[in-house]
Amino acid sequence: MTVNSTEQRLNRHGTPLVLDGGARVWLITGLLGASATALFNTLCNQLPWRQPRLKLYGREHPVPRLTCWLGEAGVRYRYSGIDHHADGWPAALSPLLVALGECSGRHPNGALANLYRDGDDAMGWHRDNEPELGAAPWILSYNLGASRDFAFRRYGSGRQSHVLSLAHDSLLVMSPRVQQDFEHALPRRRRVVQPRLNLTFRDIVARR
């Protein structure tokens, strides 16, 4: 599907936020409706969550969240120095995958799941620009559970430029220019005491 056709589908759900220089994001609320809470409970309880450890300055540290890789059988994704292999989509995700296709026209083959147990769990500044995502990746980020702030800053700048509140059952879609020109993060929010689950869907170009 071309960039224009994807944008045309997304524009049916509302006007995008233009970050700068053609980088656009769409925020779609109420994607699954009443079934979203049941999906949240199922995924929290049934996904094979784990807490990887990363080496920083010679010392290992646990990442501040739980995570797992999902997708079509055999799809591999490497991030933070770790290879992840998918065993096939969980059946519980079928309605969500259909909804993603209907609203965007895109059919991603993998998703990184992150479970933020409370506001102390977070994600630092980064871009989703690994080589296996291709030169122009669309990122579809679906959110369940507690509302959390999602921040953007221009790549190379230390100043935050935009913040969106991502609520339960909301989908944030980032155009390819976002990963080229901006970094994003999920900052710590100590006032948040409830868990938040995020599924970041992407298409892996190098399929095995």
| pLDDT tens string 73-124 | 999 888 767 788 899 999 999 999 999 999 999 999 999 999 999 999 999 9
pLDDT band at 208 (very low <50, low <70, confident <90, very high): very low
Range of the domain at 96: 3-202
pTM: 0.93
Q: pLDDT value at position 181?
A: 96
What is the mean pLDDT of the segment spanning 50-55?
Answer: 82
> Measured between alpha carbons, how far is 62 from 54 in angstroms, rounded to an integer?
6
Of the chain, the percentage scoring pLDDT greater than 90 comes to 80
Q: pLDDT value at position 1?
A: 60
DSSP string for the chain: --HHHHHHHHHTT-PPEEEETTEEEEEEE-SSGGGHHHHHHHHHHHS--B--EEEETTEEEE-SSEEEEEESTT-EEEETTEEEE-----GGGHHHHHHHHHHHS---SEEEEEEE-STT--EEEE----GGG-SS--EEEEEEES-EEEEEEETT-SSEEEEEEE-TTEEEEE-HHHHHHEEEEE---TT--S-EEEEEEE--SS--
Say yes or no to pLDDT of 157 above 80.
yes
SS3 assignment, position 28: strand
Q: pLDDT value at position 65?
A: 96
**Helix axes of 94-104 and 3-11: crossing angle, nearest 10 degrees:** 100
Does residue 207 fall inside a structural domain? no
| Domain total in the chain | 1
Say yes or no to pLDDT of 207 above 60.
no
The CATH number linked to 52 is 2.60.120.590
What is the mean pLDDT of the segment spanning 16-32?
Answer: 94
Contact 114, 103 (CB under 8 A): no
Q: pLDDT value at position 176?
A: 96
Does residue 208 fall inside a structural domain? no
Which candidate, 32, 112, 75, 42, places its Cα nearest to that of 206?
75
Of the chain, the percentage scoring pLDDT greater than 70 comes to 96
Q: pLDDT value at position 21?
A: 82
pLDDT band at 36 (very low <50, low <70, confident <90, very high): very high
Does residue 65 fall inside a structural domain? yes
